[in-house]
Amino acid sequence: MKKLGVGIIGLGIISDAHEQGMREAAEVADVVAVCDIDRQKAEARAEKFRACVYTDYRELLADPGVEVVDIILPHHLHYPVAKDAIEAGKHVLIEKPLTLSSATGSDLIRRANQRGIIFSVAENTRFVAAYQRVEQILASGELGKILSVRTLIAGSEIYRLVNDKTWKGKKDGSGGGVLMDAAPHTFYLLKWLFGGIASLQAFQDQIICQSEVEDNAIVFGRLVNDSLFHAQFSFTVQAPWTERLEINGEEGSVIIDQISNPVGLLYKGTYDFRGRSLEIPYDPEKWKFNSIVREVAEFLQTVARGGTPLVSPEDANYAVYAVEKAYESVRLSQVVLL
């Protein structure tokens, strides 16, 4: 079988994980082109694959050997580059958030559908082992009716927020702070596992004054299944990056924390002090890296066999829409409906 030709556009921090995902899918795809505005960086990466080097993504898109592109760029570049890639007839995997607005996200989805392009978002949440185990538990009904859900995404982005040479702390590059960057993961999770959000109220604040964006936020409200949710996001936690998920049902509760050992516990009542381990791999250093590897490999394997990616762009765009609603709530200081 002829292998897919893959082009990488952007060599940011997480591109190493994307690269490993391509190696995992080496039976169906080869990296044939690499693009970055830093030619030296692009040449170093391309050397590993004996790939072509570009500093202008439009030249990469014109390469007939490129059939699939993996877009790993600052948020504000997602829409124009993805649009050009789709119009060039390339299958597209793009980092989250899909775009900076649900309207432009919908436009990309429409264009991809019209051209028969396989299009997905690199939303690693779907490939986190702990969440996949939670999906099984919810499907079993073991927790009973879900009453409340609580999430946390926390770690430190301080070094990038204060660095004026990066886009992270700039409104025109990131489109926003912790709500735009971290909340899409949680909002995608709430859509995937619980059907989505019915209403929310959001609060944001800023500790790092050198940046232009919010670095802490809280969002709470009701899900479409009528349970409560509470989501917290922080870029100022001096501890290993973690994601925490607590699900409380009428018949049991689950607690997930990526830097705790065990990662997941299931409790069956007030006096179940020990709980039951959910046998999720404990890997505080690479849980996120590994989920990105799996997402990239799954996408390439799906394109090769002509299937449908596990992460639909519609669900990823729903997460962007929920982010827009969170910012609207902050602006209005009130509950908003989705």
- Each residue's pLDDT tens digit, 220-232: 999 999 999 999 9
Instruction: Please tell me the class of the 126-289+320-337 domain.
Output: alpha beta
Q: Are 70 and 8 in contact (CB under 8 A)?
A: yes
Q: Of all residues in the chain, what percent are helix, strand and coil, respectively (each to 5)?
A: 40, 25, 35
pLDDT of residue 304: 96
Task: Give kind and range of the element (H or E) at residue 337.
Answer: strand 336-337
- Provide the residue ranges of all domains of the chain, joining segments of one domain with +: 4-122, 126-289+320-337
For the chain, give the mean pLDDT: 97
pLDDT of residue 212: 95
Report residue 57 as tokens.
């993504």
Bridge pairing between strands 146-154 and 119-122: unpaired
pLDDT digits (tens, 9 = 90+) for 24-47: 999 999 999 999 999 999 999 999
Torsion of CA 247, 187, 294, 263, to 10 degrees: -30
Instruction: Please tell me the class of the 4-122 domain.
Output: alpha beta
Interatomic CA distance for residues 338 and 326, integer angstroms: 10
pLDDT of residue 164: 87
Q: Are 160 and 210 in contact (CB under 8 A)?
A: no
Q: Are 25 and 89 in contact (CB under 8 A)?
A: no
On the question of pLDDT at 190 being above 90, the answer is yes
On the question of pLDDT at 1 being above 90, the answer is no
